[in-house]
Every structure is written in structure tokens, then in C-alpha cells.
Amino acid sequence: MPKNSKVVKRDLDDEVIESVKDLLSNEDSPEDAFKKSELIVDVQEEKDTDAEDGSEADDERPAWNSKLQYILAQVGFSVGLGNVWRFPYLCQKNGGGAYLLPYLILLLVIGIPLFFLELSVGQRIRRGSIGVWNYISPKLGGIGFASCVVCYFVALYYNVIIGWTLFYFSQSFQQPLPWDQCPLVKNASRPYIEPECEKSSATTYYWYREALDITNTISESGGLNWKMAGCLLAAWVMVCLAMIKGIQSSGKIMYFSSLFPYVVLVCFLVRSLLLNGSIDGIRHMFTPKLEIMLEPKVWREAATQVFFALGLGFGGVIAFSSYNKRGNNCHFDAVLVSFINFLTSVLATLVVFAVLGFKANIVNERCISQNSEAILKFLKMGNISWDVIPHHINLSAITAEDYHLVYDIIRKVKEEEFAVLHLNSCQIEDELNKAVQGTGLAFIAFTEAMTHFPASPFWSVMFFLMLINLGLGSMFGTIEGIITPIVDTFKVRKEILTVICCLLAFCIGLIFVQRSGNYFVTMFDDYSATLPLLIVVILENIAVSFVYGIDKFIEDLTDMLGFAPSRYYYYMWKYISPLMLLTLLIASIVNMGLSPPGYNAWIEEKASEEFLSYPMWGMAVCFSLMVLAILPVPVVFVIRRCNLIDDSSGNLASVTYKRGRVLKESVNLEGDDASLIHGKIPSEMSSPNFGKNIYRKQSGSPTLDTAPNGRYGIGYLMADMPDMPESDL
């Protein structure tokens, strides 16, 4: 060995110490650090490094002011208009109380596991949907772009519904309510009731003619409905102002928009329970029809409702959780928000059926009154003998029980001639069995019921204010699912992007406020989200369970949460959930193929709805919506697979030295065995295996992770240098 070799080595050691002195100041000396057998991985949420470029961008990333604010944001996003006007309809249609059982089962099998999965990846990687799936696998990065496209499609028409609600809210400050009575048409001789209204009802006429001023078909544009265009502008201004500062502005609004609907629902429930007939409605809802529950269609619709109720695949769940602290217990959040959503649906269903029970009783009383007058007429004409009518019954003030008794007697006596009499049985169940959902429930059935409430303008204001808040809560999550991924990926200013996004959406949204706009809302609702979102969530599940690896993901969750998730989630994510989702996708495609694509058009002459098929251009738009929503997935896959775009960022892990701690986030997305979530105990972590290691551990050095950040880590030399004897130093 040359005599000066030790001197040269000591000089080199001193030089290395000086080169990292500023990085490791006020902490362990280089010699002490060299002796350590593990890296301390800092998982402090305040000082996380950028998962994609190694910068410390996350230092500036906003965070929720409190855990309550975050929970309210997730609840506000998941609890939306569907809880009020779709869940009650499905419950009534699919077996009443028996429907709750398949819904709960599918909530446990599909809902909670997938909701937990989205919360976990968003919280750990601290990016929107684009960044999260790019991080896991660049070839599957199109999943995030597809989520953004679907979110935008949904936002376009969802805010139109909020605009409709704003219109009804503004019209509710009148006594009597403007939809209380049919309008009179004045002419030279005498005024008469509007024929279109007389054939339908006051609330139906107001909705189709006064509010929408709807055309007969989707092909007839009819020009802009300026009232609704103004309401749409107001809705987008509200969303823009609430979202312009991100969660710093929308988070504070969540306290009102998320909690106020519960106050209104409870008030409505208490008030409706005091109304005549409300118990009939609730009894009808909870009377189980077990034979219906065994039909496959019931399970398919329950799975679809679970899927959309939690907002899976939209990217809003990931975006909201990305502002969380990394040590947050997202498993608790997933279970809590899922059951709050379910209980909210049950509460809304109680309110809806209590109100519909009250409305059904009013309709039934009117039916009994009209038919009693017809019976009196038949008695006077001699068509029916007075002898068949029990003496204690007064047809001028008859009760429901007495009417049903008289009806049964007449049906038996006049068995052959009964059909000619045109008498109605006036059963309250017949009215409750009329399935009403969506806008028909909110703007026709509920508004009609509220006209019979004492102080009806007050309840109308409260009801539509509740719908506005429910809609805005979901819109915040939807817009966050668009804004956050784009800001994280392309580093644009959030304020400018929010304004541009809302302005563009308003301009495109003008097609929904034409006189034929309601038909386009139906088209987008049916075709822009259902299948694309199912495909997105299936790919999310596959990306985590099979591309990244379910075992590593479970280890990551253990490191992040501080406890191992139940083995239940392992089997759900790897086997049950993908199988259930694929089954749901196939069932949805089959159902879509069997159901002719079309819409319910309001025919002015008939004053009723009629199912019409879409014209050829309408079919092309439906198909284009589905293709455009899912197109980013194959496009990004081909681009990354064929290296059509040079990724200058590379695919190495980024490591930043900070106060003597190594902050590590792997962005190697292929062939990388590093876990998403790196714990503090190296023995529990799998070793990184980069596609091209440019660093290796110095022979004889302690066991340390690689530090591929372009800087020398302690105990590392360049990997392409041959092993050098000490004398060569």
C-alpha cells in the first residue's frame, strides 16, 4: 500500500464533510451518520417534497384548517341532489325497506373499500387525480385525465340544475306561490283556464311552460331561455367565487353548505310528520317487498347508486384528501363519510315519503269527493238503487272508509255494468306507487305538496335553499377534481384557471338553457358519466392492486396509518371489488343496449310526456360523450408506451436533504419496488429497484437506502465506478 494512501483518504473524507456541511448542520456529524444503519424518513406533512420533481413545492401546499372542515367537505361532495331525489325513488321502486339490505351489502363490498382506496392514495401522494395515477404508473396516467374530463361534463349540466333551483328559490317569495293555480287566459267574452295546464296540473304546467318553456323535441332549439341563462350565470359566479382561492375559500363555505341541508331535512321531517297522511307514506316506504329484492336489476341499480353516491372516480375525493396531513386516519374518514351518506339518504327518504303521503291523501280526498258526486248523480238518475247504499253513509260528507265500502257494494251489485260507470277505487297506495324521481320529484311533486302547507312560501324557500346548498357542495368537489390535478401537473395559477374554467363552462352550458336544454341535460346525465366512471374506477382498482401491488399497498397503509388495515380490504381490493365492478360494467352495457336511446319529450298539444328516440346526430353526440370521456386512457398509454413525448423529468426517486433527514419520494413508476408510503423502519420497507441505478452502496458501508438525487449520499459512490482498493484513493 502506498505510504500516502491514508493521508489522501483522510483528505477526501474531510472534503466530503465540507461539501455537505451546510446540508447537515446542527444535526449528527457525518461520521455518526455514516455509522447509522438506517435512514430516517421524514413523513412530516408540512415539509414533504414534491413527488414529481423533487422540489419542496408541498411546503406551499394549502391544508385544511381543521379535521371538521375536511369531513364536511367530503360529506358535502358525496351528499348531493341524488340523495334527495334518486335514492327515495329507487327505494320505492325496488322493494321499499327491502332495498336497504342490498344497498348496505354493496356499500360494504364496493363503496367503503374503493372510497378508502381513493382517500389513501390522495392523502399519501398529495396530488390530484392526474398526479396520483402518473405517480403509480405513467402508462395509466390517462386515468386522471379521464376523471377530469368526466368531472367537466358533469359540472356542465349539474350547475344548470342549480340554476333551475335558483329560479324556483327566487319565485318562492310570493303568496300564493306562482305554481299554486293554473293561469287564466283572458279573451273578449270570459277568461278560461289555460288548456295545457288544465290537462296536466298547475305545478307541471309551471315547470314545463313557465320555467323551461320547453320545445316539443330536442331538434327544435327554440332559442335561449333568458331567465334560465341568467340563473346559470348566477350559479357559475357563486361557484367561481367560492373556489377561486381553493380550499381556503371553499372550506369556510362548507360549514354552511354542508350543515344547512340537515337542518332543513330535520325541520321538514318534523313538519311533515304532523301532516295528515304522512304516516301512510312512511309505512308504504318501509313495507318490504322481498320478492322484488331477488331481481338482478335491483342489485344493479343499488350498486350504481352506491357508486355515484360516494363520488367515486370523479377525482374530488382524491383532491380533497390531498390537502390532508399524511398521518390522518383516512380509514376512519372513509367509514364515517360512507355511513353519513347512507343515513342522509334514509333521512331524505323519510322526508320525501312523508310529504308524498300527505300529497297522496289530498289527491285521494279529491278523488273520493269527485266519485261521490258521480254516485249521487247515478242514484238520482236511477242507474243505482238507493237500497244498496247503507243508511248511515252520507255521500255529501263521506269518509275514505265509507267510500271504499260503497264502492265495493256497487261493484258487486253492478258487476256487468260497473265498467260503464267509470268509478275510481281511490286507493292511496295507487298514488304512492307512482314512481317520481329527479326533477319530477323536486320541481313537480314536492312543489305541489308544499302549496298545501301552512305558510307555504316559507317552506318553499327553505326547500330550494336546501337544494342549492346540496348542489353547491357537490359542485365544489367536482370543480376541485378538475382544478387541483391541473394545478399540480401544469403549475398554473389556481385563480386564473378557476375563472377560465367557470367562464368556459358557462359558455358551453348555454346549450342547456335553450328551450330544448332539458333534453340535453338528460342526454349528458345518461351518457357522459355512467360507463366512463365505471371504467375509471375499475382501472384505479387494477392500478393499485395489480400494477403497483396489493401487498406493497397494504404495507404502505400500515406505515402511514400506524396500524395494519383489516385483511378484509386485501380481499376486497384484489378479488371482490374488481369482480363486482366488472359485473356492474357488463350489466350496464347490456342494459344500455336493451334500452333504446331516447328521452321523454313534453308534447304541448297533449300536455303530457312522450318517449322519443334521439335523431342520428343525437345518437352521435351520445356516443361521442362516452368516447371523449374515456379517450385519455388509451391515448396516454400509447404515448408513454411508445415514448412519443420525452419525459425530461426522468423516473428516479427524488431525495432532498433537510436538517439531517432524508425526505424521500419515489417517482419511479415502472419496475420500482419502492413503496408509495415509506415508513420509518427500513426493515419493513422493500428496497427500491430502479430501472437504471446510477448509485450503489459503497462496499463495506452500513445498510442504507439508495439516494438517487444527483448528490452524494453518505456511504455511496457512483455505481459505474469499479471497486477501488483503498490504495487507489
* Binding site members: 76, 79, 83, 341, 470, 474
Which amino acid does the sequence have at 592?
A: M
Nearest alpha carbon to residue 650 among 667, 636, 638, 662: 667
SS3 486: helix
Annotated binding site for Na(+): 76, 79, 83, 341, 470, 474
| Inter-axis angle of helices 632-641 and 616-630, nearest 10 | 40
Considering Cα of 216, then 219, then 224, then 227, what sign does the dihedral take?
Answer: positive
3-state secondary structure 200-245: CCHHHHHHHHHHCCCCCCCCCCCCECHHHHHHHHHHHHHHHHHHCC
Q: What are phi and psi of 602, to 5 degrees?
A: -90, 115
Contacts for 506 with CB less than 8 Å, ≥ 6 apart: 232, 233, 236
| Inter-axis angle of helices 112-125 and 530-542, nearest 10 | 70
CA distance 370 to 423: 9
Query: What region, left, alpha or beta, does residue 557 occupy, with left being phi > 0 and alpha being psi -120 to 50 degrees?
Result: alpha
b/e sequence 408-442, b meaning 16+ C-beta within 10 Å? eebeeebeeeeeeeebeebebeebbeeebbbbbbb
CA distance 514 to 224: 4
C-alpha cell read off for 312: 367515486
Query: What region, left, alpha or beta, does residue 671 occupy, with left being phi > 0 and alpha being psi -120 to 50 degrees?
Result: left
H-run or E-run covering 344: helix 330-381
Asked if the peptide bond before residue 176 counts as cis, ω within 30 degrees of 0, the response is: yes
CA distance 69 to 66: 5
CA distance 372 to 514: 45
C-alpha cell read off for 318: 382524491
Torsion of CA 432, 436, 437, 438, to 10 degrees: -130
- From the centroid of its chain, how far is CA 451? 32
Query: What region, left, alpha or beta, does residue 690 occupy, with left being phi > 0 and alpha being psi -120 to 50 degrees?
Result: beta
C-alpha cell read off for 299: 342489485
Considering Cα of 266, then 271, then 274, then 276, what sign does the dihedral take?
Answer: negative
Torsion of CA 71, 73, 78, 79, to 10 degrees: 90
CA distance 517 to 168: 17
CA distance 288 to 272: 22
Alpha helices in 491-545 (DSSP H): 494-509, 517-527, 530-542
Termini Cα distance of the chain: 11
How many Å is the maximal CA-CA distance in the chain? Answer: 135
CA distance 265 to 271: 10
Which amino acid does the sequence have at 601?
A: A
